[in-house]
Structure 1
């Protein structure tokens, strides 16, 4: 199949935007070898008045990575930053390489961040970014879920990680109930929490009920993966119901493909 034919089929199935995006990736990929020889070890990225340096070792031209996440989630990052106060505890559930952890950490005074990231590669970069920025971040190399144990995770690219069963899983990771971990490590409950864990959000919330029920927790930002969540456990409706049972009011904060973001705010009578 010729390149022109492939482009035409992509246009028919997904539209001109997909063709343009595919062409851009191919062009950038041709320049990637030069970029790899010239890129800095760390690069500073800013969102509003928050700023942090990020490890560039996994940065590749033409491939989706943390820099693309900063661009695509800028409005959500700004919203999260506006909700965090200097003495807050911020939980970053699904921290990946630490975009939210490091940017929020740069804004804190006496507060601190607790970050959870299960995949070893991302966790190692998270640690490097935390150390580079001297950020007030405590990290845990676990996945929050509704059980303590292990599970398999499929790793697709640099951001598409999700729970998987049996031979589909390419990586064994540790799972922890958030409530148990908070109790064991005597962690303060979060004032603000962000959750982005590729369809495992209902399981994580089930295991974190007691912690999120603390009156100190006033805001939770959660990306709901409407398709993946049905494969892994729960549903979008169950996530929203759980938040309401805990006394949160929900606001829609945008969408991305089949996913959407909600902001859960604790109503005054539940504080």
Structure 2
């Protein structure tokens, strides 16, 4: 096993870095640490995704390429802990094809890689600065994801986007800007989480709250938009198991970019829909649900209690008969499988020389501070 004097002649720090880097590519592993135990044995500790919500360990998020810690943590909890895109009966099947529309820094792509590693993901993010982070996260974790530096809409065009460096998840097309609504949403989120959320998150909530306690600067970008049908044709996609859409008020435009001949390819849709009174999005839930129903989907609409009154709705659409698809379901809400140390060890042994293998693998719910030792 690996020691400071291993046969490859590598120092322990380099051995640990190689093991940790490899473990970050294991499905479900958010972070890894290599230490020596009391018996001088090399131990690889792995922290699963989702553990963060109760441990308040921000180290794993610090390792991700993100715009700032507060919104990265927000995205993690929304996607990995609350599983917002797997509600309403949405599932991930083996070898699923997923379109991640509004990918931001790639948190949902990371989620897919964690829960359904056989999936192929097409990720769309129009803002250049955010897209660079998406690319970095995909590359560092070896995700089976194809990133595209443009958004999707009802036609091919270029439009102005307002990019907020301090809170990139609120960036949107200039014609859909509604900053007062965004501020209200964040304030409601913080108030509800303080009242009924898990313990140990006071610092995180204070950071989120601080995001709207100052004047926001924005950068205007001209961004390319394409139709989903043009991408389907160009990429030769023959089936889409899931379209996830979070496009900051442009979600209906995304759906309108799907031609009639392509709708039968789509099996599930999971999306956030903005329906805000006295705004361009007023009536959007009705428009979206009617469109999906016309295309043959079973549609359901949910509102989280913390979002009530903010004009945010979750819409889920499933094509009848998809439950008969012969491919096994590998992920559904609340069905995350525990990571097994012996399987992680076997996975490592197929990817590292024997001199770089740890003596033991432990699955933990928190990692100690400090560097590998």
Return the TM-score normalized by structure 1.
Answer: 0.71
Distance 1:228 1:93 in 2: 24
The question of whether the paired residues in 1 share the 8 Å contact of 2:104 and 2:125 is answered with yes
The question of whether the paired residues in 2 share the 8 Å contact of 1:189 and 1:212 is answered with no
Matches within 5 A, 1:34-45: 44=31
Which residue in 2 is equivalent to 1:260?
313
Matches within 5 A, 1:192-271: 192-210=242-260, 213-214=263-264, 216-227=265-276, 230-231=279-280, 235-255=284-304, 256=307, 257-268=310-321
Matches within 5 A, 1:88-99: 88-99=96-107
Distance 1:211 1:155 in 2: 34
The question of whether the paired residues in 2 share the 8 Å contact of 1:95 and 1:101 is answered with yes
Structure 2 counterpart of 1:175, from 225, 229, 252: 225
Deviation per residue, 1:233-271 (Å, 9 max, x gap): 9722111111111111112243333201111111239x9
> How many residues align structurally?
222
Q: Which has the larger radius of gyration?
A: 2
Taking only aligned residues, the RMSD between alpha carbons, in angstroms, comes to 3.2
Which residue in 1 is equivalent to 2:332?
none
Structure 2 counterpart of 1:84, from 89, 92, 105: 92
Structure 1 residues 253 and 235, CA, compared in 2 at 3 Å: closer, same or farther? closer
The question of whether the paired residues in 1 share the 8 Å contact of 2:66 and 2:105 is answered with no
Distance 2:90 2:255 in 1: 23
The question of whether the paired residues in 2 share the 8 Å contact of 1:229 and 1:235 is answered with no
| Range moving further from structure 2, 117-126 or 185-194 | 185-194
Residue 186 (structure 2) pairs with residue 137 (structure 1): no
Q: How far 1:187 sits from its partner (Å)?
A: 2.6
The question of whether the paired residues in 2 share the 8 Å contact of 1:203 and 1:234 is answered with no
Which residue in 2 is equivalent to 1:4?
none
Matches within 5 A, 1:2-21: none
Higher strand share: 1
| Structure 1: gaps spanning 5 or more residues | 1-41
Q: What's the secondary structure of 2:314's corresponding residue? A: strand
Return the TM-score normalized by structure 2.
Answer: 0.53
Q: How far 1:158 sits from its partner (Å)?
A: 1.8
Which residue in 1 is equivalent to 2:158?
150
Q: How far 1:84 sits from its partner (Å)?
A: 0.7
Which residue in 1 is equivalent to 2:50?
47
Distance 1:199 1:229 in 2: 13
Distance 2:66 2:82 in 1: 26
Which residue in 1 is equivalent to 2:236?
186
| Structure 2: gaps spanning 5 or more residues | 1-23, 25-29, 32-47, 52-59, 176-217, 325-373
| Range moving further from structure 2, 66-75 or 256-265 | 66-75
Structure 2 counterpart of 1:115, from 123, 131, 136: 123
Q: What's the secondary structure of 2:243's corresponding residue? A: strand
Q: How far 1:86 sits from its partner (Å)?
A: 2.1
